[in-house]
Amino acid sequence: MKTIYQIFLILFLGSQLHAQQEIQVPLMSHLASSSKANPARMPKYKWNMQMPSLGFGFLHTGPSFKDLYTRDASGMYQLNGQQAIDEFDKSNIFTGSFSGDIFGLDYTWDNNSVNVRYGSYVDAAIKYTADGARLLLKGNGNAVGETLTVGPAFNFNVYDKLGIGYVREIEKLTLGGRVNFLFGRKALSTEEQTAKLTTGSDYYKLNLETSYVVHSSDFVDVDTNTNKVNFADMTFKPGFGGNGSGVGFDFGVGYQFDDAISGYLSITDLGSITWKNNTSTYSSHKRASYGGVKIESLAKLDTASLSGMLDSIQKFVDFDKSVGEFKTRLTPNIMMGGTWKFTDNITFDGVLGAKKVLGRFLPMAGVGVQFELNEWAKVGTSFSYQNKRVNHVGLNTTLEFLPLQMFMGTDNILTFLMPKSANTMHFRFGVNVMFGKYTKRKTIYGLG
């Protein structure tokens, strides 16, 4: 239990620093970086160099901060367990990822274009139950005689990606694909994730049933004799990851309907990583009972009581450790989008997308408009449906002092204005260098 709790805690807190499926760049079709969502995008310039572009954020299908806490008369925030519990779904998802597109290069000639991409990425996801949240928020004192399914599932990948792609234009049709070579740095994932806790009426007697398998590569090490948990060094080191390897694919198809309207369909991040170095697998398949432990809610826990509670429970929750390779899969993104060039200075874009995270589909949809203020400045706004909400308002800006193209954008500006109510956020900024305009091409992508 101590192992499960610590893994849950670091993923839940760590994921908030990163991101989820982004929608702003696909709605900025004038950007060279939009090829990230549409591998069939033909560049406007003969040479296009993508300099570092960084994206981060988060998505949580459960309650926000304001749902978890209430403010008392003195202005202090107090954990409101019952209010929060009412906001949880039976199954809840928290995702996070950091997207570091470090370098890219496109070369275009006639009706062909080749490209190279390199970046470092962090994908994190955790799926937890309302029962698990209830146990953390209210303890087991209100669950006597009940069986709570508390085991979280999670997937955490840190890897580098080197992609080589090709785009071909055939009249109004463009076809694009990219092969991605994956180099794994760190991984932590569950293959099985069932933990059921029953609290008896006789002095809080606990019965625990586990079917749990956790894979790790250079992430966490557990001493199975003492259940002591040690986390690996989390600092970033230059170079390719050496703990795992794999291959991934991106595909896209675009079509020019007329002089003003184009569309595309893409699927990206297909693939998996096989982890071979610094690997450990921790498994628990057993039923056990303990004389009695009353688990306090988070609001009542201090360091001493938490340590004592976990030390008692860990006596009958033991993991068996083994060494061997394992595999984790990337999270594929499916997108369909289009561009309508309304005037020379106004462009509308739309996108539909979905990704499958730990067995659950997360759909999204958005529309955006771009305004060209002058030759060097563009601004845009968007409205999107994400995370079962339609109140996402995005903003972006692009500055072009050729050959430089600098941009930044967020999917949900309300996150920064009302952070306590936020469940979704994504922010990206970056720079492109473009030169040698390719005038033969007729396909339009946004402004310019």
DSSP string, 367-408: EEEEEE-SSSEEEEEEEEEETTEEEEEEEEEEEEETTEEEEE
pLDDT above 80 for 311: no
What Cα–Cα distance (Å) separates residue 386 from each residue in 97, 353, 370, 426?
A: 16, 10, 20, 11
Mean pLDDT of 368-389: 89
Determine the 3-state secondary structure of 448 from DSSP.
Answer: coil
Q: What is the pLDDT of residues 165-219, one digit of tens each?
A: 999 999 899 999 999 999 999 999 998 888 888 887 776 777 888 888 999 999 8
More confident residue, 374 or 80: 374
Q: How confident is the model at residue 18 (pLDDT cuts 50, 70, 90)?
A: very low
Residue 44 CA neighbour count, 13 Å, CB half: 18
**Rounded to an integer, what distance in angstroms lies between the CA atom of residue 443 and that of residue 332?**
27
Q: What is the pLDDT of residues 159-173, one digit of tens each?
A: 999 999 999 999 899
The position carrying tokens 């040690």 is 230
Mean pLDDT of 50-61: 84
Q: What percent of the chain has pLDDT over 90?
A: 29
Provide the pLDDT for residue 45.
Answer: 85
Task: Judge contact between 9 and 229, C-beta under 8 A.
Answer: no
pLDDT above 90 for 243: yes
Provide the pLDDT for residue 92.
Answer: 86
pLDDT above 90 for 75: no
Provide the pLDDT for residue 183.
Answer: 96
Q: What is the pLDDT of residues 400-446, one digit of tens each?
A: 888 888 999 998 887 777 767 777 778 888 988 887 765 444 455 55
- Among the listed ranges 44-58, 166-180, 216-230, 311-325, which one has the minimum average pLDDT value? 311-325
Provide the pLDDT for residue 20.
Answer: 47
**How much is the pTM?**
0.82
Q: What is the pLDDT of residues 218-241, one digit of tens each?
A: 988 877 777 677 788 777 777 888
What Cα–Cα distance (Å) separates residue 178 from each residue in 159, 269, 313?
A: 17, 10, 49
pLDDT above 90 for 141: no
Q: How confident is the model at residue 1 (pLDDT cuts 50, 70, 90)?
A: very low
Structure tokens at 168: 């071909």
Q: Closest Cα partner for 70 from 59, 86, 58?
A: 86
b/e code 206-239 from CB counts within 10 Å (16+ = b): bebbbebbbbbbbbbebeeeebeeeeeeeeeeee
The percent of the chain in helix, strand and coil, each rounded to the nearest 5, is: 15, 55, 30
Mean pLDDT of 313-323: 69
More confident residue, 401 or 448: 401
- Write out the DSSP string of 198-252: EE-TTTT-EEEEEEEEEEEESSEEEETTTTEEEEPP----SS---SEEEEEEEEE
Which residue type does 432 have?
N
pLDDT above 70 for 306: no
Structure tokens at 220: 């966490």
Q: How many C-beta atoms surround the C-beta of residue 71 within 10 A?
A: 11
Task: Judge contact between 132 and 148, C-beta under 8 A.
Answer: yes
pLDDT above 90 for 139: no
b/e code 344-378 from CB counts within 10 Å (16+ = b): eeebbbbbbbebebbeeebebbbebbbebeeeeeb
Provide the pLDDT for residue 317.
Answer: 57
